Structures are given as structure tokens and as C-alpha cells.
Amino acid sequence: MKIDQIKRVYLLGIGGIGMSGLARYFFHLGCEVAGYDRTSTELTRTLESEGISISYTDDQETVPTAFQSLNDDILLIFTPAIPKDLQLKAYFLGLGFELYKRSQVLGLISESRFTIAVAGTHGKTTTSSMVAHILKDSGYDCSAFLGGISTNYNNNVLFGDNNVVVVEADEYDRSFLTLHPNIAIVTSADADHLDIYGDANELITSFKLFLDRVVPGGEQIVKTGLPFSGTISYAREQLADAYATNVQVQDGTFYFDYIAADYQIKNIALGIPGLHNVENAVAAITVAKLLDISTDKIVQALGNFKGVKRRFEYLVKSDSSVYIDDYAHHPEELRAFLTSMKKLYPNKKLTVVFQPHLFSRTRDFVDGFAEVLALADELMLMEIYPARELPIEGVDSSWLLAKINMEHKRLVSPEAVLQIITEEKPELVVTVGAGDIDKLVKPIKEILSC
């Protein structure tokens, strides 16, 4: 199937962050778009307000007439998150349709576009958003499929008028192996998703296969220190083909110099905080220079980049309280985030509210979590968010808490978090995790804004 021949698109599970991005992309191209999801959410209601038809009933009678017969210009997309026994899925298969995963569709798109793909066990959402923003802000332009809501554009998909697309390349279930990048970035390859890969070596193999998918004449931009390399290496404060040096914090803003073999930019102000984001910016600048974007436009874009929702996101910033929310759910993500917090606010007591994500991840990295969480001055640890998993005997937050070598730590419920923050009004508090901890963001913001 060729992307440019598609006129009608139906999505099973249209309300997901990635699926909704595809819905918006094809709607923007002028396709008729419809879909199904189990429940109405703020995101599905937004899609409906934009003109996309959505059904919440698993019944073939709800399928628009335009999708009720097999046709070469119709694309059917599904997410593996839908139930295997979904009646609508069986209905479309019965009509003879081939159903495509989101990752396969991104692969089809990348075949006919100049594709910049950003992969990594962490850092990929911010880096891909940063690359896309530089291209948009500079006037170079692009379309983009992002794994989070870009704060600059309040969207997870961006639309461009040229042939360039930026894609967040997901390593989960090896879906990034459908892509055909012209430029590939790998930000990290720490052991993760071991429930899928079995061991770290298999994960590393997948990243190597991803880099092998770069088209002839393309570039592979790989962070220094990973167990594989590309055509260009990058780093923060260590030698590489491109690296950041002279990193400083002034009045809450990170400044750094970008150094490459034949090119330098001095005293760049980054619009978002974080040592790890300085590193992400090095990768993004390297892409921009490959595309011959001018230095002035790169610097301007990095200065006004506002980041991604739930990635080092400021919710409260007053004289009495600072509150930041972050998606970090792996020990190395936590280390980068908490280390940056300490650098930003060396004289403030750091209160961390953390919700572990997945029983298997907690089991596999318990010692790493214990070490990194001890960077907090005070820790409130929530129960593990199970997501797709069943409990594992002996693996719970009490077990993790006992391993954390610090004095001020406690196991808390969501209700207890709000009560403690109401009573103690911490001067510097962060909520961290990839589960439903985000439900606490609004009430904590309201408490600390009073």
C-alpha cells in the first residue's frame, strides 16, 4: 500500500496518543477519517470537535458506509491494546481488509518521506520534539509524530508542507524496525522492556538493526558510550564528534557551548532545564547542521523551546514553592532528572513523589531505583502501577522502600500525598512516574498555588 493513494482511514483504538496522531495526520491530508474507542475521553472529544467521527460501541452497525466494503484507498489501523475478540476487528477482517499496526503505518510514511527518526530507551520524546521545533521555528518545516504533547504546539502531531517527517521511533516490541530513516538518532540503550526482549543483549541487537535501516547515504547519530556506534557520535562534557561543554546554570536557565570538528556555537541558552536536555540539544543541533539550518535560527529555536508535557514540566514556580512533574520511570531517567534538580536548586529541600511503573521493571532494576531515589531529601513512594502486568510475588513498593538508604522515606497512597503536601507545603516537590500519578498533578498544583 502507498500512503499517497489513501483516501479513507479507520482506526481501532483511535483515542491513544499515537493513534490520535495518525488520525490527525491523515485528516490533515484530506482523508476521510473515522474510528472506534471503548470510552470517550478529552482526547477523543477533541478529535470529534476537529471533524473526525468516533464510535464507542463495538458494533459493525456503527461503521460509516464509506468503510463497509473493501477498497484499495481505505487504510485500517489498529493498536495491539484493543481486545483480541473485538467484534469490529473481526468484521473488517471478514471483509478482507488487511489491518496495519501504527508502527507499520509509520514505516509506510517513512518510505515516501525524508525521515528523521529518534530512538532510545529514554530521551527520545524530548529530542524528537526539539528536532521538530527547530525545523518548524526556523522555517525549514516538517511533519512530526511525537510520543508526547509538545508544549509549543499543544499537539502530538505537527503538519508540514514539505517532504520531511520527524518520527519518535519506539523500541517497544521492536516497532522501530519498520522505519526507513534518512537520519537516525539513538539517545540511550539502557536495559528496559525486558518483559519483551528477555535480556539486554536482545535489546542492543534491536538498536543495531534500527541503525542498519538507515538508507544509503544517511547519517547515524549515536550517543557516546553505547555498545554500538554510528557515523556521528555525540555527548555532553566528553569528547565526541559533537559535544556540549561549559555547561552552566544562571537564574534557572542552562547555558552551554556546542563543539564539532569544524563548527562551534557559544553560550546557547536552552529554553528548558536539565543536564540531560543539554545532551538532547546536542543531538538536535547536529541534525539541524546536517540540514544547513543557520546558527542564528538554531539558537533562537532552542531558546524558545518549551519542552513536552510531563517532561520536566513546571506547574508551580513561586517564591514559596516550586513544583515540577516528569515522566521518568527508569533508574537512569530518574538519575538525570534528580541530578538536574539538585543543580538547579542546590539550596532547597527536594521532596520526591515517585510511582514505580511495572512489577517487572521494579524487580529488574530495584537496586538502581534504590540508589537513585536516595538522592531525594524526602521520599514519598507510591505503590507500583501495574499497567499491563499481573503482580509478581514479593515485588512491591515496601520491598523497594526497604532497600533505599535514606532517613526521610515513607510509603503513601495518592490521598496521603495530597494531605502531606497540604500540611507541609514543601518548597521543592516533584512527581515522577509513567503510571496514573499524573492524576495528582492538578490537585497538587492547586494546593501549592494557594
Contact 433, 382 (CB under 8 A): yes
The grid coordinates of residue 105 equal 503505518
240 three-class SS:
coil
247 in Cβ contact with 237 (< 8 Å): yes
In-domain check, residue 308: no
On whether residue 108 sits in a domain, the answer given is no
- Residues of the chain with pLDDT > 90, as a percent, come to 70
φ/ψ of residue 234, rounded to 5? -145, 160
* The pLDDT value given to residue 24: 93
Residue 81 shares a structural domain with residue 120: no
Q: Which pLDDT tens digit goes with each residue over 147-200? A: 888 999 988 899 999 999 999 887 766 778 889 999 999 998 875 544 555 566
Give me the residue label for grid cell 539517545.
187
Contact call for residues 215 and 226 (beta carbons, < 8 A): no
- 107 falls within a domain: no
One domain for residues 341 and 429: yes
> Mean pLDDT across the stretch 326-354?
90
In-domain check, residue 259: yes
Q: CB-based burial of residue 280 (10 Å sphere; 0-12 exposed, 13-18 middle, 19+ buried)? A: buried
Q: Verify that 204 and 334 share a domain, yes or no.
A: no
Q: What is the pLDDT of residues 118-132, one digit of tens each?
A: 998 888 889 999 999
Residue 293's domain is classified under what CATH number? 3.40.1190.10
Q: Which cell goes with 117?
A: 527518526
| pLDDT tens-digit readout, 269-311 | 999 988 889 999 999 999 999 999 999 999 999 999 998 887 8
Whole-model pTM: value is 0.79
Residue among 364, 360, 406 at smallest CA distance from 381: 406
- Report the mean per-residue pLDDT for the chain: 92
pLDDT at 4: 80
> What pLDDT, on a 0 to 100 scale, did the predictor assign at position 223?
96
Mean pLDDT lowest among 88-102, 129-143, 311-325 = 311-325
pLDDT for 195: 54
Quote the pLDDT of residue 34.
Answer: 98
Q: Does 151 share its domain with 285? A: yes
Instruction: Identify the domain boundary among 278, 303, 328.
Output: 303
Q: pLDDT category, 431, cuts 50, 70, 90?
A: very high
The values of phi and psi at residue 380, to 5°, are -115, 115
Q: Which of the listed residues 66, 100, 134 is the one where a domain comes to its end?
A: 100
- State the average pLDDT over residues 400-404: 97
Quickly count: other Cβ atoms within 10 Å of residue 345's Cβ: 17
pLDDT (0 to 100) of residue 198: 55
**Do 91 and 143 belong to one domain?**
no
Same domain flag for 257 and 154: yes
Is residue 20 one of the residues assigned to a domain?
yes
150 and 242 assigned to the same domain: yes
The 10s digit of each residue's pLDDT in 71-119 is: 999 999 998 778 888 999 999 999 999 999 888 898 888 888 999 999 9
CA distance 84 to 116: 33
Looking at residue 32, which CATH number applies to its domain? Answer: 3.40.50.720
Do 216 and 93 reside in the same domain of the chain? no
What is the extent of the structural domain holding 323?
313-449
Number of domains in the chain: 3
Whether residue 319 sits in one domain with residue 289: no
Residues 87 and 128 in one domain: no
- Final residue of a structural domain among 303, 321, 338: 303
Question: According to the model, what pLDDT value does residue 191 have?
Answer: 54
Q: Are residues 209 and 81 in the same domain?
A: no
Give the position of cell 540540514: 291
What would the grid cell of residue 316 be?
508551580
Whether residue 49 is contained in a domain is answered as yes
Residue 105 lies in a domain: no
Q: Is 124 within a domain?
A: yes
Q: State pLDDT tens for residues 210-257.
A: 999 999 999 999 999 999 999 999 999 899 999 999 999 888 899 999
C-alpha grid cell, residue 268 = 546557547
The answer to whether residues 435 and 406 belong to one domain is yes
